[in-house]
């Protein structure tokens, strides 16, 4: 039988109007009482659903409005030239000046930047100790990675991932693929890591940004560096420096 006090308590907790004692009680009972947990979960989805309802309604209105508006034709190069002739003229002058300077001071290419910033992530997960038995498939993969036998390590990492997805292996396989110039596979490794796991997000984003740098997708790389620029993040300095260098 559902208890009205419990319902009110859960609603207060969800609305963040519960006092500290009530919060303690709810949190304790959430772990101890399955029925209470079920009731909480049923209530908990409602506020988000109500917000979604209001937003979905607004989306419907925008869709109706959109049907009444003329299609937006893609801007042709000429349209843009006309629209931006003043800044373009200024830019042309600037390019001339910069070209002149660059003749004396060549800037780094994307490939150079990548090479200077990429260093394979070390195997800090399952380091090989002297005397370890590396006949075991898993241990041999980590050992090969440490010995820079990336081709061999990647092959076994793929087999291990086919059996079970593990964040540490995805990170190292992505790195091995970057060394082996398999950029697309590396991207997929890091994207999967970001999407499906939580613990290695910063590392995955950093190496994903290097994938984008390598494939010339600078805007995507820059978006990630902006995100990594937070001083609390390990890669903050590197990300900020790269942002300056590619601007």
Contact residues for other proteins (CB under 8 A)? 7-8, 11, 42-43, 45-56, 58-59, 61-63, 65-66, 69, 71-72, 74-75, 188, 191-192, 194-195, 208, 219-220, 223-224, 227
Nearer Cβ to other proteins (77/131): 77
Cβ neighbours of 36 (radius 10 Å)? 19
CB of 37 to other proteins, least distance (A): 15
> Is 213:221 a contact under the CB 8 Å cutoff?
yes
Dist CA 134 CA 144 (whole Å): 9
Output the DSSP codes for 13-26. HHTT---HHHHHHH
CB of 117 to other proteins, least distance (A): 19
The torsion angle over the Cα atoms of residues 29, 34, 39 and 43, rounded to 10 degrees, is 80
Nearer Cβ to other proteins (138/218): 218
CB of 147 to other proteins, least distance (A): 30
Dist CA 226 CA 29 (whole Å): 41
Nearer Cβ to other proteins (12/29): 12
CB of 9 to other proteins, least distance (A): 11
Nearer Cβ to other proteins (51/116): 51
Give the chain's length: 247
Nearer Cβ to other proteins (132/217): 217
CB of 56 to other proteins, least distance (A): 6
Residues 6+ apart with CB under 8 A from 51: none
């Amino acid at each position: 039988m559902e208890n009205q006090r419990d319902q009110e308590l859960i609603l207060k907790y969800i609305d963040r109007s519960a006092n500290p004692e009530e919060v303690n009680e709810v949190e304790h009972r959430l772990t101890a009482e399955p029925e209470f947990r079920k009731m909480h979960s049923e209530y908990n989805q409602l506020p988000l659903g109500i917000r979604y309802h209001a937003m979905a309604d607004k989306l419907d209105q925008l869709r109706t409005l959109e049907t009444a508006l003329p299609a937006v034709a893609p801007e042709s190069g000429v349209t843009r030239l006309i629209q931006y002739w003043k800044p373009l003229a200024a830019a042309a002058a600037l390019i001339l000046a910069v070209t002149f300077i660059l003749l004396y001071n060549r800037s780094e290419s994307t490939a150079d930047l990548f090479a200077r910033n990429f260093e394979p992530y070390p195997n800090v997960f399952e380091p090989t100790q002297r005397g370890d038995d590396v006949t075991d498939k898993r241990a041999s993969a980590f050992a090969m990675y440490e010995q820079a036998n990336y081709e061999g390590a990647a092959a076994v990492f793929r087999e291990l991932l086919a059996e079970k997805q593990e964040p540490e292996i995805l990170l190292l396989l992505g790195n091995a693929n970057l060394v082996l110039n398999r950029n697309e596979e590396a991207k997929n490794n890091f994207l999967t890591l970001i999407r499906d796991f939580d613990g290695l997000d910063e590392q995955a984003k950093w190496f994903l940004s290097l994938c984008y740098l390598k494939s010339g997708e600078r805007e995507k790389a820059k978006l990630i560096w902006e995100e990594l620029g937070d001083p609390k993040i390990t890669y903050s300095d590197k990300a900020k420096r790269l942002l300056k260098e590619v601007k």
